Amino acid sequence: MRILVVEDEPTLSAQLSEALGQAGYLVDSAADGGRAHYLGEVETYDLVVLDLGLPVMDGLTVLKKWRAAGLGMPVLILTARDNWHEKVAGIDAGADDYLTKPFHMEELLARLRALLRRQSAHTSAQWRCGPIMLDTRQARVTVDGQALSLTSHEFKVLAVLMQRAGEVVSRAELNEHIYAQDQDRDSNTIEVFIGRLRKKLPPDTIETVRGLGYRLARTE
């Protein structure tokens, strides 16, 4: 899962990026509204954590521009202003949830997991597909109860496929979810990660759809 953190306070931005990274998410960051608006339009994100008090362009304006452009990724807004008018304005602008500073990191992580579940067919923090279970809270995967040893990139690829189980996911989409915006993206590496996952998962779990991408076989 790929998340954009938009926060102009360096210490908090670093803390958010570290906590999200440790939770298994790929994190990009922006320190002002102009950069955030640009990244939201040119990159693909599963979720955005958006501060309201930003330089260059305020958070509400950024959010309104994204929604006007048809961008529907879930957005959790952060505000240091304990003012219900700010919260209402954020929700009206298209935010999916809000959190007032200061906050506990565990609460933020729980809210993000809830927002991500709303976007998928999964109704809990533990995603299941046949014998495979992916725990989004602990960044842990098991098959028939046995823990799998996965690299961070293997975990991210599997998480995207499980979130969209039964659907075809292109190499380009997988690339966007495992590499930050400033990293080189080589689609050949996706084949390497898929190959490694196939060796660790039950046979025929990941299907190749020639010319289109990969699909995680949906098993009830």
CATH of the domain at 185: 1.10.10.10
**Domain end point (choices 118, 135, 164):** 118
Q: Mention every residue, 6+ apart, whose C-beta is less than 8 A from residue 58.
A: 33, 52
**Domain end point (choices 118, 146, 171):** 118
Q: Are residues 180 and 90 in the same domain?
A: no
Closest CA to 52 of 24, 109, 92, 111: 92
Mean pLDDT over residues 35-46, rounded? 92
More confident residue, 152 or 132: 132
Q: Are residues 96 and 139 in the same domain?
A: no
CB 37 within 8 A of CB 57: yes
- Read off the pLDDT band of 220 (50, 70, 90): low
Q: Are residues 22 and 67 in the same domain?
A: yes
More confident residue, 183 or 11: 11
CATH of the domain at 10: 3.40.50.2300
Alpha helices, DSSP H, located in the chain: 10-22, 33-42, 59-68, 84-93, 105-118, 152-163, 171-178, 187-200
Domain count, the chain: 2
Closest CA to 162 of 43, 8, 46: 46
pLDDT digits (tens, 9 = 90+) for 140-186: 899 999 999 988 788 888 988 988 888 899 888 888 777 655 555 56
Angstrom distances, CA of residue 88 to CA of 64, 94, 95: 14, 10, 9
pLDDT digits (tens, 9 = 90+) for 56-113: 999 999 999 999 998 888 999 998 766 667 777 888 888 888 888 889 999 999 989 8
Does the pLDDT value for residue 119 go beyond 90?
Answer: no
**Domain end point (choices 84, 118, 152):** 118
CB 128 within 8 A of CB 89: no
Q: Are residues 63 and 82 in the same domain?
A: yes
User: Residue 16 is part of which domain span?
Assistant: 2-118
Q: Are residues 17 and 102 in the same domain?
A: yes
Query: Ramachandran region of residue 216, left (φ > 0), alpha (ψ -120 to 50) or beta?
Result: beta
Q: Give the predicted TM-score (pTM) of the model.
A: 0.63
Q: Are residues 132 and 154 in the same domain?
A: yes
